Structure 1
């Protein structure tokens, strides 16, 4: 009888502990907005213990390789030891990434990550990122993002800089691609001819000046495990980080506005707000005013312990 009671207590404790851990996945104040449990279809713990260190192919596929910067296959991307590892190979000048098989949109996106071989006080040629795009690199596009009068918004939840002087940081931004009737083409807001319209790219964290606890966000701690999240709400985007066991807002809120309002540092026209395919990975991406030196190029990894997507609750879409 005592053994049965003990088993019950242990079991109840484990369930309670699991519930608490799951509840901490999103802030308490947002529990009524997003589902408390992450979507199994779009989330991944990266601990499937599959043969040959392969990832869950029902959820992801390799990002297509390119001549420069991107490789494809287990040499570059593995699910190993309970995490996703994207290897940056110095001798090949390539790394790899995964892309979600499906596109999805509003919700709470959270992931735990770190890098190796990337130092905050040195120039860096590797480009780890978690971001959303209009395509899956296999010929599929989100509806309404291509062709005449199409619009969309890239979302870089976390994107490392490369080639920017003797330091390395990461940022969070959301450049819009908007159809311009007078040009009969789609224009990215942060390159020509965008600036001639006084358009600006929406930035949540700039990696240069935005601070948390008096320290610029994204400039240090690349080799430490850290947990970031982004709210993709029907009305706005907001970055968060897990500070020990407490979720805190960081950076700047970007709101979605009437389509007649030009894009700014803190706004994006609603017509650009679309579902996206989601990328997790890295690539070799060296640029800058001066060529990167051989001694500045390293072997690296971008490691993701888990990636969670909590869909927005239907009542919040009203």
Structure 2
């Protein structure tokens, strides 16, 4: 049903492009708007590809002196390329090129919010390319910081929070082998916490949960002398995320967070005041979370995550069997950390 409707819209767009009663700029704008509609609904890869094709047609139809319209079409094409599933980096490279083509004209003719949105999404394209060693993460950070000139915490709390999240993940993705590693960890935690000051559980539940989950990860894996305190704070953050990420409505997000929580529990004594008494109760709780997340990942086709959680589950089971209830259990190596999430502003 969804595919048929999308096909109808593509045909309507192509007919609009051939409508000689409209001038070229009007035809280009019609193509762009229909492409945006395809992009906004539940995203099958075929719909995204169709949207990209319509953006390309709009760019060909649009007069070259309509620089603002060309920039808007290019920026929207870039956002579609960002969400296109692919194995390599071609779409990401094309997205970066599209944003970089649009930004100079948005500076000259666009609204501040349009420019900030393009900078924000450019940062995301560069950050993902940096993960493939195809770009510099510092360029992503610069793009996010430029976007923050407009997306401040007062007027744009949601966008501000997303940018803080993406800045934090960029800091955490930098090499941790130099003397500034701890400073970047602290900056990441600070950015997550700054983002959480602007969004609420009621008004921005998705962003709130994302930030809480990622704050928990940053705290849990920080190279700090305050590991116990950080893990307790991480546990609180995961519990906040789980107020939104419930299994019935957000199963994959729920599985990510409970597997993170399981890993945190594995490293926590049952009684922080008496760590010598061990953490058998927390190990048992972690085992149940791992079992639940493995089931969700398996049924959702997340093969790699299911395998990673299964390995953790096997390890924790061996630890429980080899450790009498009266003795402390050991710690794991923190291998079930899920990808810290970045986000882009949708049109």
User: TM-score normalized by structure 1?
Assistant: 0.29
Larger helix share, 1 or 2: 2
Larger strand share, 1 or 2: 1
Larger C-alpha radius of gyration, 1 or 2? 2
User: TM-score normalized by structure 2?
Assistant: 0.27
